[in-house]
Structure 1
Amino acid sequence: MSKPVILTGDRTTGPLHLGHYIGSLKNRLAYQDTHEQFLLLADLQALTDNADNIDMVRHNVIEVALDYLAVGIDPAKTTICLQSHLPAIAELSMLYLNFVTVARLERNPTIKEEIRSRGFGRNIPAGFLCYPAAQAADITAFRATVVPVGEDQAPLIEQTNEIIRRINSSAKQPLLPEAKAIVPRMGRLPGIDGQAKMSKSGGNSISLSATPDQISVAVRSMFTDPGHLRVDDPGKVEGNVVFAFLDAFDTEQNEVEDLKNHYSRGGLGDAVIKNRLEQILQGLLAPIRKRRAELASNRDYVIEVIKAGTLKAKAVTGRTKQDIQKGLGMFRL
């Protein structure tokens, strides 16, 4: 491949939202012109904590693919593929588990925090604990050298590179390139409630397919500053969800800074900044929603896109698996 290889993707646990758009999808639109980009519909990763809800995971394969296509991902430039139909990834995951210890998996900061936040205790699904090895398989199967991740996901890339170094050391040759994490300039978008990150399951997100009324209701309910009771009261910008969204989506950042200053000294009501944000989000999501509805009425096309991309990815990942097995000196038939 003449271009740098980039791997990214999403767990198929629900339709995507504005947090995904600003944190990853917007960048993917640019990457597809500069990189050989593989976009993974990560249904196996979705099962690591949703094994009792396979119907939901299966249903959302199409939903996530619709979001990809609706925002402008071009299947002629970006390979959209289904994780569970790439057997080489599963085989590499099993192989890599021999190159990492349970103690190291448990020490991974990302995994530790997820175990804590989900309240697993010692009842950790084995697939969830082994997620770093599985992600290493995803990345290396495509020989990706670039992986966009959130800041909290960077330890997973570090562990991927540890596994890569062990594989290369065992093979006594550079079988696999190390991967570089790219952390987007814009951090995680807060939920509209101001209490946590925007998430599919948290009830605090705005989906890419949100209707005009849903957008309006979400913006009106956004957390601002509880102490800003009257228009003349000085208001806090930090922690104000509306300003966080304006930072992410408003193209006139000089005007946003003026609004922040005005809000801080008093004399600017919440309704003014919410009206501005709503107009921006309505304009952003209207064409995405329209395109998504058109694609949803042609399900066969979406399935064909996934099939074609998966077929290409299957060939790429299969070759990588064979190269690794050969390089490690494993028995060959």
Structure 2
Amino acid sequence: MRPTGALHLGHYHGALKNWVKMQSELPCLFFVADWHALTTHYDDPSIIESSTWEMVIDWLAAGVDPEKATLFIQSRVPEHAELHLLLSMVTPLGWLERVPTYKDQQEKLADRDLATYGFLGYPLLQAADVLIYRATLVPVGEDQIPHIEMMREIGRRFNHLYGKEKGFEEKALEAVKKLAGKQGKQFTEFRTAYLEQGSHEALEQGRAILAGSQSLSAADRERLQGYLEGKRKMILTEPQVRLTEASRLPGLDGGKMSKSYGNTIALREDRDSVIKKVRTMPTDPARVRRTDAGDPEKCPVWQLHKVYSDEPTKQWVQQGCRSAGIGCLECKQPVLDGILKEQEPMRERAQQYIDNPKLVRDIVFAGCDKARALAQETMREVRDAMGLSYR
């Protein structure tokens, strides 16, 4: 996530809720994309550091758990930049120019100078961010699928160019022997079933053996991944898309919740401020007087009911609004209660970090060390494959 400072409830429902859920299912890495912030705001970097700490506190407040997930800052792991550079040597220019968001963002941000390599190359930096951790899944919405497909193409091209390991077949067969018990025989059978019969079930079973094996080195694991699929050595893993449930939380005016529109509620906003904002929200313009009937579909408050209210409350709103049986302030109360209830544990979790900022820095710097160790392992193999080891 780019460092934008304090986050709002739209960020929580669009991304952070998914992060909190995923961290209990899989090992996750969440990072502050400070280099990415410079692709569009290179002329004013003054707020990046303060925005970073503010945003990380919001992650922790939302329930991201440093005991379950790794939190770090992109620029504190310089291997991202190294892999980005090396990938840029082999990535066709046309691949970058055809990214759907490239021209779209140029049009939307016409007031900014985006005629830079940094902006053109940001999808490649994104690819390095993912490929360097050999990530298997990337949680995104549908609009980001082209970016993940490009990452896959880049990883595939790199493996094709640099996975030409001398004696690959012999080394793969030796690695099979290292699999415990009957796993070596099963792995060979699954490989044969996939390559000769195209059985994707066999492919997944072979992958499961590799994922669960404790007897393989990282190099042997990648070697066998390539061997299983009939390819060369898999130096970089091709990530898959994990489509996430993105609950689009509208702003106070019914439009997209965005700081630039001035229609947000911050994750940790002061209780009195939240009450004032919700109570003064615009409603159906047809309800000039308390006795006027309204249409919930034309009211921004109804959009928030869809997120915060249960089914009986929604029915109460539909019936009461259309019959003028309830007033707008009555209608807003369940939404207000829902928001305040959601924010209460966030404020409590955040307080210890506000009182002691060193706690946040310790979490992030420990995460940076952990992430960098993973990145360095990948880069050793990348350099070796590209003839840059110099032993």
Aligning the two structures, in what range does the TM-score lie when normalised by the shorter sequence?
0.7 to 0.9
Secondary structure, counterpart of 2:72 in structure 1: strand
The residue that corresponds to 1:320 in the other structure is: 378
CA distance in 1, matches of 2:112, 2:266: 31
Q: Deviations over 1:49-103 (max 9, x none)?
A: 2222222011111111111112222211111111001111111112222333444
1:304 matches 2:362: yes
Tell me, yes or no, if the aligned pair for 1:149 and 1:181 is still in contact at 8 Å: yes
CA gap 1:261/1:326 in 2 versus in 1, 3 angstroms: farther
CA distance in 2, matches of 1:245, 1:261: 17
Question: What is the Cα-based RMSD across aligned positions, in Å?
Answer: 2.3
The residue that corresponds to 1:194 in the other structure is: 254
Partner residue of 1:212 out of 271, 276, 279? 271
CA distance in 2, matches of 1:90, 1:261: 57
Q: Deviations over 1:244-285 (max 9, x none)?
A: 2222233x2353255345545664443233111111111111
CA gap 1:126/1:50 in 2 versus in 1, 3 angstroms: same
CA distance in 1, matches of 2:25, 2:33: 23
Partner residue of 1:129 out of 120, 133, 136? 120
Q: 313-322 or 143-152, which moves further after superposition?
A: 143-152
Partner residue of 2:346 out of 288, 300, 307? 288
Tell me, yes or no, if the aligned pair for 1:150 and 1:188 is still in contact at 8 Å: no
The residue that corresponds to 1:3 in the other structure is: none
CA gap 1:268/1:121 in 2 versus in 1, 3 angstroms: same
CA gap 1:269/1:116 in 2 versus in 1, 3 angstroms: farther
Give the alignment of 1:56-95 within 5 angstroms. 56-95=47-86
1:270 matches 2:332: no
Q: Give the aligned residue type for 1:54.
A: P
Secondary structure, counterpart of 2:29 in structure 1: strand
Q: Give the aligned residue type for 1:309.
A: G
Tell me, yes or no, if the aligned pair for 1:44 and 1:84 is still in contact at 8 Å: yes
The residue that corresponds to 1:17 in the other structure is: 8
CA distance in 2, matches of 1:289, 1:244: 24
CA gap 1:153/1:229 in 2 versus in 1, 3 angstroms: farther
1:222 matches 2:213: no
Alignment: residue pair count: 320
Secondary structure, counterpart of 1:284 in structure 2: helix
CA gap 1:120/1:305 in 2 versus in 1, 3 angstroms: same
Q: Give the aligned residue type for 2:70.
A: T
Secondary structure, counterpart of 2:138 in structure 1: strand
Pick the structure with greater CA Rg: 2
Q: 103-112 or 49-58, which moves further after superposition?
A: 103-112
The residue that corresponds to 2:202 in the other structure is: none
- The percentage of aligned residue pairs carrying the same residue is 34
Residue ranges of structure 1 left out of the alignment (5+ in a row): 1-9
The residue that corresponds to 1:109 in the other structure is: 100
Tell me, yes or no, if the aligned pair for 1:14 and 1:200 is still in contact at 8 Å: no
Q: Give the aligned residue type for 2:244.
A: P
Q: CA deviation at 1:121?
A: 7.8
Q: Give the aligned residue type for 1:53.
A: D
The residue that corresponds to 1:53 in the other structure is: 44
Partner residue of 2:243 out of 156, 172, 183? 183
Tell me, yes or no, if the aligned pair for 1:48 and 1:127 is still in contact at 8 Å: yes
Secondary structure, counterpart of 2:32 in structure 1: strand
Residue ranges of structure 2 left out of the alignment (5+ in a row): 164-231
CA gap 1:104/1:267 in 2 versus in 1, 3 angstroms: farther
1:170 matches 2:229: no
Q: CA deviation at 1:144?
A: 1.2
CA gap 1:319/1:257 in 2 versus in 1, 3 angstroms: farther
Q: 11-20 or 227-236, which moves further after superposition?
A: 227-236
Q: 304-313 or 162-171, which moves further after superposition?
A: 162-171
Q: 176-185 or 272-281, which moves further after superposition?
A: 176-185
CA distance in 2, matches of 1:31, 1:310: 20
Q: Give the aligned residue type for 2:253.
A: D
Q: Give the aligned residue type for 2:360.
A: V
Q: CA deviation at 1:298?
A: 0.5
CA distance in 2, matches of 1:35, 1:200: 32
Q: Deviations over 1:4-44 (max 9, x none)?
A: xxxxxx11121111011111111211211111011101111
The residue that corresponds to 2:305 in the other structure is: 246
CA gap 1:261/1:48 in 2 versus in 1, 3 angstroms: farther
Secondary structure, counterpart of 2:269 in structure 1: coil
CA gap 1:144/1:170 in 2 versus in 1, 3 angstroms: same
